Amino acid sequence: MFLNNLFSIQAITQDNGLITAEISLNAEHEIYNGHFPGVPVTPGVVQLEIVKEILQVSLKRKLRMKAMRTCKFLQIINPQETTSLTISIKFTEGEQLEVVASGQNTEHTFFKAQLAYI
C-alpha cells in the first residue's frame, strides 16, 4: 500500500527473529497534504502499516493484524525533519506472529508497539 510510494526500504536485514529496516520517507506523498497542510505528520495508523509491510517483505507472506497489545506514539514524525528512520521488529512465530516493533533514529524513538498478526 505505501511501500515504494510513501516510504522506501534502503536496507533490510533479518536474523534470529529480528528484522531491521532502514527506510526513507517521501515528504511529497499526497497523504501529507491533508495531514497536515504546512506541518506534515505521519499518521500513527500509517506507521503501523509500515511495520506490517516490512514484515510482509521480509517474511514473504501476507499478514493481517489480529491484536494490538500496546502502542505508544512518543514523537511526531514530520517527514521534512525526519527523512529516514530505522524500524526494528522482533518476532516469534507460533499460532500467530507475535511482534514487538519500534521506529527510531539517532535522536528519538517515535513509536513502540506490541502486535499480533495472522
Look at residue 7 in the predicted model and tell me its pLDDT.
98
Q: Give the amino acid at 50.
A: I
Determine, yes or no, domain membership for 19: yes
Determine, yes or no, domain membership for 12: yes
Closest of 73, 19, 78 to residue 51, by C-alpha: 19
Closest of 59, 70, 49, 71 to residue 96, by C-alpha: 59
Determine, yes or no, domain membership for 85: yes
Determine, yes or no, domain membership for 2: no
Determine, yes or no, domain membership for 104: yes
Determine, yes or no, domain membership for 56: yes
Q: 49-101, pLDDT tens digit by residue?
A: 999 999 999 999 999 999 999 999 999 999 999 999 999 999 999 999 999 99
Determine, yes or no, domain membership for 34: yes
Look at residue 37 in the predicted model and tell me its pLDDT.
81
Which residue range is the domain that position 25 belongs to?
Answer: 7-117
- pLDDT of 38 higher than 90: no
Say which CATH number the domain at 37 has.
3.10.129.10
Answer yes or no: pTM beyond 0.85. Answer: yes
Number of Cβ atoms within 10 Å of the Cβ of 20:
16
Element (H, E) at 64: none
Sign of the alpha-carbon torsion through 51, 26, 77, 10: positive
Determine, yes or no, domain membership for 82: yes
Torsion of CA 19, 113, 28, 20, to 10 degrees: -10
User: And the C-alpha cell for 78?
Assistant: 514530520
Percent of the chain with pLDDT over 70: 100
Query: How many distinct structural domains can be found in the chain?
Result: 1
